[in-house]
A and B are shown apart, each in its own frame.
Chain A
């Protein structure tokens, strides 16, 4: 009996862990929708302005955003919004010098912080934490 329950718990733990890691990071692509979602979840919006031709942007998406610590931290604190320099204009009041730029936006649509450029997961996570 105890053995069977333990087995079930282990299976449940395995499935929930698999779901958590499989989910990774979800990008919103609409500013207003992201703002609404962030408000509902009492989080800030983390807006990534990037381009498909930018190697630094692709490194962040393909390597940094696959790091478990980064995923966990972003999912806990932010709603992630992805805008493409070739398709999307930045919302009014936001400016950039280079890509990728990460803007951090509170519920009043005010910028609270900014990270310019990508870095290795550990350093990027530290920069994220320093914003708080």
Chain B
């Protein structure tokens, strides 16, 4: 019985995994809009100024990646991890950010307009001058985050209180 369950899990993971051509493209060229990069390991990669809009990056590992001004608009970033990444000026407009982990990430001046933010971890991150508009932040955490001149538009729900 155990073996059957493990096999099912393995097969379902394989089915969910990224497209290898897409992974090659993002590594070679950076730009990969609408690509399937789910479960991809992009940790530590230099992705600055890349276009990853509309991409499927769910469960992707972007820890310690450098992605200045990268366009993640409308991308699916559910369960993706950006731990200690440098994503200054990145665009997350309309992105799906469900259980996304931004722990200790540098997210200065990022744009979260219309992003679907749900249970995200922004603890210890630097969100100075980032823009939040039309989001619900009530079940996300911001402990120890830098919120210096962070912009929370009037329609944002659950605005975190600055701790510093």
Which A positions have Cβ atoms within 8 angstroms of B?
55-56, 58-59, 62-63, 98, 117-120
- Does B93 interact with chain A (Cβ within 8 Å)? no
> With a CB–CB cut-off of 8 A, which chain A residues contact B146?
59, 119-120
What residue in chain B is nearest A119 (Cβ atoms)?
Answer: B126
**Known contacts A55-B149, A59-B148, A63-B148, A120 near B108 by CB under 8 Å:** no
What B residues does A119 contact at CB under 8 A? 126, 146
Kindly state whether residue B3 has any CB partner on chain A within 8 Å: no
**Residues 135-149 of B at the A interface (beta carbon under 8 Å):** 144, 146, 148-149
Residues of B within 8 A of A (CB): 68, 86, 88, 106, 108-109, 126, 128-129, 144, 146, 148-149, 164
SS of B interface (majority) = loop
> Which of B68, B109, B164 is in CB contact (< 8 Å) with A55?
B109
Q: How far is the CA of A58 from the CA of B149 in the complex (A)?
A: 10
Residues of A within 8 A of B88 (CB): 56, 98
Distance (whole angstroms) from the CB of A99 to the closest CB of chain B? 10
